[in-house]
């Protein structure tokens, strides 16, 4: 169905003014909430029936008007003690006593139902979860982090410092207390590998997912579920980062679709070995590239088949002269890595360039490398 010119105009106006459509969670908890409210149906029905019965009784016994009968029934049934609004016959007074007793019985029953629902805690938990899901639904380009552990605590600290929104998924019963303690603004209680949990975390609008379980099968389940989910919603692949201990587990996760699999023990061992060999050694990448308060940025840029830079020598791109960025490594499709490439090295489609520079210059260089047209600036070099 084609959009009218008026609809297109309002869409452009909304984009211009940065108006956002109200986001709704992908999972609707309303049926579950209404299910928890079912016990209140009986007290409400009894209240309506007694109000109707009392109104008809006052009209028939003491010939009250409709409005007076409704009012007299209401103040009698709720036992507020306002008294009679008009003289009531002896039969009417007996009828009033019956309404008082019935009102007290219904009120006691309703209190019992309320206490039972509150003690179960399910309704309150659902209302809190619904409020959280609406907050998560507003997120875009966030990271979904699966499983809470010591890795998650440190990773979320770095993400908060970098102002990157994130959602933590874990099936712990005390997830709410954990979120408050470690300052997780958004969290989902559930099994991370399930489609339900992924939808609650609003994965459809996320940038990627990080699975940090100490148990490799858990990470395998998450990676598999995410890859299946992205096919179901027909979107571009998510970036998936995971952890593993052995080379075999790392290989399994990569074959299943993880973009990067880190081994914390190996990373620590390499760092400790470097410090042991030379106590004065300083990790330049750690100090200047990965630090949040540095102007430098390190990025991997893939050369596409249609890129103008494909099959050209590195020196012909003039990235240093034009954008003040430097290619410090080239990873070829076959897996070969060329450190500190020379100007005569040929860039081929599928090569991944490891580029270093400021964030501002990196943005320009990324755009030029991915462009299909040769930049006009090269005509003046």
Q: Are residues 339 and 252 in the same domain?
A: no
Over 90: is that where the pLDDT of 186 sits?
yes
Q: Are residues 172 and 246 in the same domain?
A: yes
Its domain, for residue 151, covers 139-266
So what's the pLDDT on residue 378?
73
Q: Are residues 179 and 89 in the same domain?
A: no
More confidently predicted of 300 and 192: 192
345 in a domain, yes or no? Answer: yes
Q: Are residues 148 and 261 in the same domain?
A: yes
- pLDDT tens across 91-139, in order? 988 998 888 888 888 888 888 888 888 888 788 888 899 999 999 999 8
Nearest in space to 151 (alpha carbons), one of 182, 181, 180: 182
Q: Is 231 helix (H, G, I), strand (E, B) or coil?
A: helix
More confidently predicted of 50 and 269: 50
125 in a domain, yes or no? Answer: no
Q: Are residues 306 and 343 in the same domain?
A: yes
Over 70: is that where the pLDDT of 262 sits?
yes
So what's the pLDDT on residue 294?
58
Q: What whole-number distance in Å separates Cα of residue 309 and Cα of residue 374?
A: 8
347 in a domain, yes or no? Answer: yes
- Taking residues 47-67, report their average pLDDT: 90
Over 50: is that where the pLDDT of 172 sits?
yes
Q: Output the CA–CA distances (angstroms, integers) from residue 223 to 147, 196, 248, 267, in the order listed.
A: 13, 15, 16, 22
Over 90: is that where the pLDDT of 180 sits?
yes
Confidence label for 343 from pLDDT (cuts 50, 70 and 90)? confident
Do the strands 326-331 and 352-358 form a parallel or antiparallel pair, or are they unpaired?
antiparallel
Q: Are residues 165 and 239 in the same domain?
A: yes
Percentage of the chain modeled with pLDDT above 70? 87
Q: Output the CA–CA distances (angstroms, integers) from residue 188 to 36, 44, 49, 346, in the order listed.
A: 20, 34, 42, 48
- Could you tell me the CATH number of the domain that includes residue 348? 3.30.70.1450
Q: Are residues 338 and 244 in the same domain?
A: no
Phi and psi angles of residue 327, each rounded to the nearest 5 degrees, phi first: -85, 115
6 in a domain, yes or no? Answer: no
13 in a domain, yes or no? Answer: no
| Strand order from edge to edge, sheet including 337-339 | 296-302, 352-358, 326-331, 337-339
So what's the pLDDT on residue 11?
64
So what's the pLDDT on residue 281?
55
15 in a domain, yes or no? Answer: no
Which H or E run includes 241? strand 239-243
Q: Are residues 299 and 250 in the same domain?
A: no
227 in a domain, yes or no? Answer: yes
Which H or E run includes 173? none
- Number of domains within the chain: 3
Over 50: is that where the pLDDT of 18 sits?
no
Nearest in space to 224 (alpha carbons), one of 193, 250, 245: 193
Q: 342 near 360, Cβ under 8 Å?
A: no
Q: Where are the alpha helices (DSSP H) in 257-358?
A: 264-277, 284, 314-317, 319-323
So what's the pLDDT on residue 202?
92
Q: 230 near 196, Cβ under 8 Å?
A: no
Q: Are residues 259 and 359 in the same domain?
A: no
Q: Are residues 87 and 58 in the same domain?
A: yes
- Taking residues 144-158, report their average pLDDT: 93
So what's the pLDDT on residue 190?
92
Q: What whole-number distance in Å separates Cα of residue 229 and Cα of residue 360?
A: 34
Q: Are residues 225 and 331 in the same domain?
A: no
- Could you tell me the CATH number of the domain that includes residue 87? 1.10.287.70
Over 90: is that where the pLDDT of 147 sits?
yes
Q: Output the CA–CA distances (angstroms, integers) from residue 30 to 36, 44, 79, 190, in the order listed.
A: 10, 20, 34, 18
Q: What whole-number distance in Å separates Cα of residue 52 and Cα of residue 107?
A: 17
So what's the pLDDT on residue 1?
46
Q: Where are the alpha helices (DSSP H) in the chain?
A: 5-16, 30-36, 41-62, 66-77, 90-120, 122-136, 150-161, 175-181, 195-200, 216-233, 247-256, 264-277, 284, 314-317, 319-323, 359-370
Over 80: is that where the pLDDT of 65 sits?
yes
DSSP conformation letters of 1-57? -PPPHHHHHHHHHHHHTT--PPP--SS--HHHHHHHTGGGHHHHHHHHHHHHHHHHH
So what's the pLDDT on residue 189?
93
Q: Say what angle helices 122-136 and 90-120 make with each other, to 10 degrees.
A: 60
Q: Are residues 169 and 92 in the same domain?
A: no
So what's the pLDDT on residue 149?
92
Over 70: is that where the pLDDT of 3 sits?
no
4 in a domain, yes or no? Answer: no
- Could you tell me the CATH number of the domain that includes residue 226? 3.40.50.720
Over 50: is that where the pLDDT of 20 sits?
no
Which tokens belong to 123? Answer: 């309704």
- Taking residues 155-177, report their average pLDDT: 91
Domain boundary among 92, 120, 148: 120
So what's the pLDDT on residue 178?
94
Over 70: is that where the pLDDT of 241 sits?
yes
């Amino acid at each position: 169905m084609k959009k009218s010119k008026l609809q297109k105009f309002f869409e452009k106006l909304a984009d211009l003014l940065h108006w956002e459509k109200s986001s709704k969670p992908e999972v609707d908890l309303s049926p579950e909430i209404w299910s928890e409210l079912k016990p209140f149906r009986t007290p409400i029905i009894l209240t309506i029936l007694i109000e109707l019965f009392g109104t008809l009784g006052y009209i028939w016994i003491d010939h009250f008007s409709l409005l007076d009968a409704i009012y007299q029934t209401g103040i009698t049934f709720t036992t507020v003690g306002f008294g009679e609004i008009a003289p009531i016959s002896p039969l009417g007074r007996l009828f009033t006593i019956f309404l008082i007793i019935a009102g007290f019985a219904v009120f006691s029953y309703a209190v019992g139902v309320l206490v039972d629902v509150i003690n179960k805690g399910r309704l309150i938990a659902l209302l809190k979860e619904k409020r959280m899901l609406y907050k998560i639904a507003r997120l875009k380009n966030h990271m979904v982090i699966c499983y809470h552990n010591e890795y998650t605590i440190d990773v979320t600290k770095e993400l908060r410092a970098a102002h990157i929104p994130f959602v933590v998924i874990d099936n712990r019963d005390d997830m709410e207390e954990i979120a408050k303690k470690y300052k997780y603004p958004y969290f989902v209680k559930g099994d991370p590998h399930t489609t339900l949990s992924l939808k609650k975390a609003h994965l459809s609008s996320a940038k990627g997912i990080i699975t940090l379980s100490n148990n490799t099968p858990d990470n395998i389940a998450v990676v598999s579920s995410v890859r299946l989910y992205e096919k179901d919603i027909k979107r571009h692949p998510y970036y998936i980062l995971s952890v593993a201990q052995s080379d075999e587990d790392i290989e399994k996760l990569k074959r299943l679709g993880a973009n990067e699999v880190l081994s914390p023990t190996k990373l620590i061992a390499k760092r400790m070995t470097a410090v042991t060999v030379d106590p004065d050694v300083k990790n330049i990448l750690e100090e200047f590239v990965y630090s949040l308060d540095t102007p430098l940025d390190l990025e991997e840029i893939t050369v596409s088949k249609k890129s103008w830079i494909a099959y050209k020598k590195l020196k012909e791109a003039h990235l240093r002269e034009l954008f003040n960025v430097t290619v410090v490594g080239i990873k070829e499709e076959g897996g070969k890595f060329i450190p500190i490439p020379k100007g005569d090295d040929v860039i081929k489609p599928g090569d991944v360039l490891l580029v270093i520079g400021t964030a501002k210059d990196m943005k320009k260089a990324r755009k030029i490398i991915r462009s299909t047209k040769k930049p006009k600036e090269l005509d003046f070099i």
